Amino acid sequence: MHEVEIQEGVIQVDANIIGQNLGLEPSEVQRLMGEGKLTSSCERGVNEDDGHYRLTFFLGRRRLRLIVDEAGRIIQQSVIDSGAAAWRS
């Protein structure tokens, strides 16, 4: 699997990407999602952002945001820990 796959309206993100950016082992990603401790949102771009998706993953005070194009290429990413207020791109 590529880092992000988009097929027929379904978006899948490689657990390695999520884990790496949120300080988790990939195996923890699915478990935490199942427990409702790691949540996500997906927004589809409109107008000048048409063809892009903003994927956001939340874990406690930490947030991973990925901006991807229709091919699933990550064109921007950021991580913030609201407790530490540290950004990484």
Residue-wise pLDDT for 34-84, tens only, equals: 999 999 999 999 999 899 999 999 999 999 999 999 999 999 999 998 875
Q: Which residue has the higher pLDDT, 60 or 3?
A: 60
Among the residues of 1-89, which ranges form H helices? 15-22, 26-34
* CA 50 remoteness from chain centre: 18
Which long-range contacts link 28-34 to residues 24+ away (Cβ below 8 Å)? 32/59
The tokens of 41 are what? Answer: 């949102």
Compute the distance between CA of residue 85 and CA of residue 71 in angstroms, rounded to an integer.
Answer: 31
What is this structure's pTM?
0.86
Confidence of residue 3 (pLDDT cuts 50, 70, 90): confident
Could you give the number of structural domains in the chain?
1
Query: Domain limits at 11?
Result: 4-88
Both ends of the chain: CA-CA distance in Å?
23
